[in-house]
Amino acid sequence: MYKLLRGVACCQHAANSGAVNNISRTSQRLLTTTAGGVHVDPADEQVLSKRKFQPHQAIESHDKPATQPPRQSRVVICGGGITGASVAYHLGLQGWGGETVLIEQDVVGGELPWSACGLAGRFEPSYTELKLAEYSIDLIKRLTERGLPTGWRQVGSLNLARNFDRMTSFHRMKSLAVAWGMNCEILTPQQCQQHCPLISLDGIEGGLWIPEDGVCDPHLVCHAFIAEARRLGVRIVEHCAVKKIHSAHGKVAGVETTAGDVQCDYFVNCTGFWAREVGTLSKPVVKVPLKAVEHHYLHTKPIDQLDPQTPFVRDFDGRIFFRECEGHILAGGYEREAKMVYEDGVIPLSQEARQYPPDWDHFHELLDALLQRVPAFREATLDRLTNSLQVFSPDCKWILGEAPEIQNYYVAAGNKTMGVMASGGIGRVLTDLITKGSTYLDLHILDISRFLGLHNNRKFLRDRCKEAPGKHFEINYPFEEFQTGRNLRMSPIYPQLKEAGAVFGQSMGYERPNYFDLNDKQDEFGLPRFRIAQTRTFGKPPWFDHVASEYRACRERIGIADYSSFTKYDFWSKGNEVVELLQYLCSNDVDVAVGSIIHTGMQNPNGGYENDCSLARLSERHYMMIAPTIQQTRSMCWIRKHTPDHLRAKVNVADVTSMYTAICILGPYSRILLSELTDTDLTPKSFPFFTYKELDVGLADGIRVLNITHTGELGYVLYIPNEYALHVYSRLHQAGQKYQIQHAGYYATRALRIEKFYAFWGQDLDTFTTPLECGRSWRVKFNKPIDFIGRNALLKQREEGVKRMYVQLLLNDHDHEVDMWCWGGEPIYRDGVYVGMTTTTGYGYTFEKQVCLGFVRNFDEQGQELAVSNEYVLSGHYEVEVAGVRFEAKVNLHSPNLPTKFPDREREAYHATRDKPDQADLLSFSSPGTDQTMTQH
């Protein structure tokens, strides 16, 4: 019998026969223990179900008295784990140490040093996450060099692949490494074994070696942060719990603790495992969507002659990892489906109670994979299997940023099992946000405002977080979709779309059709099936032909698309205050004729995009805003925070996203179709491009119709009160049959806008992108009577020149049938030198080529950025590197005129990107019945 398996049997017996130790006295009365774990005593179930999170109860069992916190402090950090310690340290570096207090309900650093793997690695799916991890590693190195104990060893990380797609993802990562400044190397199976002789090569196709990765002791790193924070003046208060977070006028005002109250200006929730529950201690509640799951670590007894420089090894397809740790092996992994804990919502109040009994039945699949990958494990002696509960967010990403509900309330949580890898970077960027209001990275993909209240629903988290941890080691395919937490937000026409063959994607909880497939659309009972879109390849996707058909319908006939998920706000006031507010928030001029549509950015003080939206002026004092789906929470936060005090009570802003169903009809026959269903004159003179009207459609009234499509095609978006949605949809679809109307999904409209060179927020535009960099200077009105946010930064950039420029690249000699596709994030080379990255990419069905949108920079020999001009961009020879292969590309600076059988003067005259401000006046139309000119914005 193998030693490890004998150890398994012994530990299983111990788990079955012993009770759970270290449960706080507060919890012991209410909990009983079985072999399967901790369970609620039925007699106390009703009591527990109603119990609120009250952390001060946990403190009553401590013999040590709490240190007295100060009566007043500028910043209060709650949570003495590695993230809270990092925030405290970085605030000290900024000179705020004497005005910062860190409060911990137990002891800083915790008492579970074995509850983390200790990897300090750079392998992250996004630039933002990678740079945060990179900074964390560099910081740990610096602390080590200064003599602080961290356990740091640069052993490198070896990442194994078992199949072609995983190797393709490694090749894509290798391509990105040049842009991201990361050293890595693609390995053959034999080279993998040279780096780690312990592994078996059974099933291995190759690997990715990252030599600068390492391991450390998170417990020691945390105490190093704490020691440095103390040296910099931060006050550490242990055995003290936060009871309430008070706010006044929408901002943090103070904290009530078990050892006294503290008045403060800023509060930072770094409580990790307890962050969601601590969020409930304020009014309004701060929603931090996290859910606890079981997570196991296997520890062997010391192994003779085990090389301390053994790399950190991840077998992604086996879902396992292992490393050397003080002479023994520490191993673990991520199951396909995590095991939930505390499904009744009752969270333990102590760190000791967070430790669960090991579940060998649940861990066995990972154990089998470990034994297969490292045969030597079979001769190792098991020390223990620990079950240290971890919390995950619904999208398996970190959560940080200012809470939407309360200003100056910051959150840093959801670091999964990689807290040490994230902590340094998170501490830095949170400190920047607190002390400066901005930071050096675009954080929108990690910002807490990416969530809605629905994501904090406990039952939603229970469903979703079974799946989320498993995503951690899955291949990062394009357009990957979650299988859980679905059918949550649906438009009234959802059943009709499903019946029409819709295959759905989800954004902000909203089901929207990605494409339509008439095959296999019914279940065994003949009812429409709910189908989730999957790409699962880096090459030609399985939905290619379906999207091609939808694309042609939009270009040659009529497509009908569901835009309901788009963010929709209404702004209004009694006087002219709404105009004043929007003029201040927006860089374009919003004081235009009633019925006009203004496309504008909301810039931050550095000139970057906080929002990219369309505003329809419904009346003199009433506007409707349309913004990207992912902006539903984020935009409201920005608007509320930056509304001047004298306008705060005078302007009403309402999120009306759920009140309207949005249907877009687009294509050369769309005007004719809509004309048949309304009495209003829709000719270009009466209803020109970029204008709004309220129409009767069919038998319904009050339909807000915008003469835009966000794709560049002729068409209209109808914002329909929900009670009329099914009627209007049915009339449109029925009347459109003679024009061969066809449903179109997100993928088709995305392909249309990429060919037309339309930028999109969250993909092409972010908080660091300015209008001048992406050909939108004509949408910035510097001479407005109101000084808008970001104006000075944009004026300075206009004077000095832009350091990057938005371009469109068409790939030559790329065979879409056999070559790997561009999916975004590919390096761009000019004359053989790296100059930028692609942002949005796709196949251009008119160009019959891969189309890439992205940004080009100009670096000198020392790597410094120089100004970028049109001449610089157009004079170079371009290539795009796709998974290690470079393809020649033609560059475009402005929207091309696509060949079409149905030319339209309005659309051909409009270009989404352009150089000259006077091009904004290409289109102007006389408003019927007035002398006023309506200029397209």
Q: If you write DSSP's letter for every residue of 45-100 in order, what string do you get?
A: HHHHHH----THHHHTT-SSPPPPPPSB-SEEEE--SHHHHHHHHHHHHTT-GGGE
Q: How confident is the model at residue 125 (pLDDT cuts 50, 70, 90)?
A: confident
pLDDT at 9 over 80: no
Phi/psi for 195 (5° steps) reads -75, -30
Cα pseudo-dihedral 306, 307, 309, 312, rounded to 10: -40
**Per-residue pLDDT tens digits for 150-185:** 999 999 999 999 999 999 999 999 999 888 889 999
Query: Are 129 and 400 within 8 A, CB to CB?
Result: no
Instruction: Count Cβ atoms below 10 Å from residue 154 Cβ, excluding itself.
Output: 16
3-state SS, 438-487, equals: CCCCCCCCCEHHHCCHHHHCHHHHHHHHHHHHHHCCCCCCCCCCCCCCCC
Reported as a single tens digit per residue, the pLDDT across 794-852 is 999 999 999 999 999 999 999 999 999 999 999 999 999 999 999 999 999 999 999 99
Segment 390-424, tens digit of pLDDT: 999 999 999 999 999 999 999 999 988 778 999 99
Mean pLDDT of 375-388: 91
Exposed/middle/buried for residue 738 (C-beta within 10 Å: 0-12, 13-18, 19+) = exposed
Distant-in-sequence, close-in-space partners of 791: CB < 8 Å, separation ≥ 6: 587, 782
CA nearest to 804, candidates 840, 754, 855: 855
pLDDT single digits (tens) 502-518: 999 999 999 999 999 99
Rounded distance, CA 723 to CA 746, Å? 24
Which tops the pLDDT comparison, 103 or 9? 103
More confident site: 891 or 39? 891
Predicted local distance difference test score (pLDDT) of residue 908: 65
**Residue 50 pLDDT:** 39
Does residue 741 or residue 30 have the better pLDDT? 741
If you average pLDDT over residues 21-34, what whole number do you get? 30
Distance CA 770, CA 44 (A): 58
| pLDDT band, residue 431 (cuts 50/70/90) | very high
Q: How far apart are CA 285 and CA 287, in angstroms?
A: 6
What is the structure's pLDDT at 18?
36
The average pLDDT across 86-102 equals 98
Residues 209-248: tens digit of each pLDDT: 999 999 999 999 999 999 999 999 999 999 999 999 999 9
Mean pLDDT of the chain: 90
Helix (H, G, I), strand (E, B) or coil at 545: helix
Segment 422-442 shows an average pLDDT of 97
Q: Starting at the earlier edge strand, list the strands of the sheet with 382-388.
A: 185-187, 206-210, 157-161, 312-315, 320-325, 328-333, 296-300, 382-388, 355-356
Query: What's the pLDDT tens digit per position in 530-581?
Result: 999 999 999 999 999 999 999 999 999 999 999 999 999 999 999 999 999 9
Distance CA 195, CA 207 (A): 10
DSSP-based helix, strand, coil % in the chain, nearest 5? 30, 25, 40
Cβ 808 vs Cβ 891: under 8 Å: yes
**Termini Cα distance of the chain:** 77
**Are the C-beta atoms of 280 and 345 separated by less than 8 Å?**
no
- Beta strand 700-706 pairing with 692-697: antiparallel
What residues pair up with 716 in beta bridges, in sequence order? 665
pTM of the model: 0.92
Contact 849, 835 (CB under 8 A): no
The confidence score (pLDDT) of residue 1 equals 34
C-beta of residue 674 within 8 angstroms of C-beta of residue 716:
yes
* Cα 361–Cα 365–Cα 368 angle in degrees, nearest 5: 115
What's the pLDDT at 13? 44
Cis peptide before 684 (omega within 30 of 0): no
pLDDT value for 354: 75
E strands, 174-327, are 185-187, 206-210, 214-215, 235-237, 242-248, 251-257, 260-263, 266-269, 291-293, 296-300, 312-315, 320-325
Does the structure show a pLDDT above 90 at 346? no
In tens, the pLDDT along 552-565 reads 999 999 999 999 99
Q: For residues 932 and 245, which has the higher predicted lDDT (pLDDT)?
A: 245
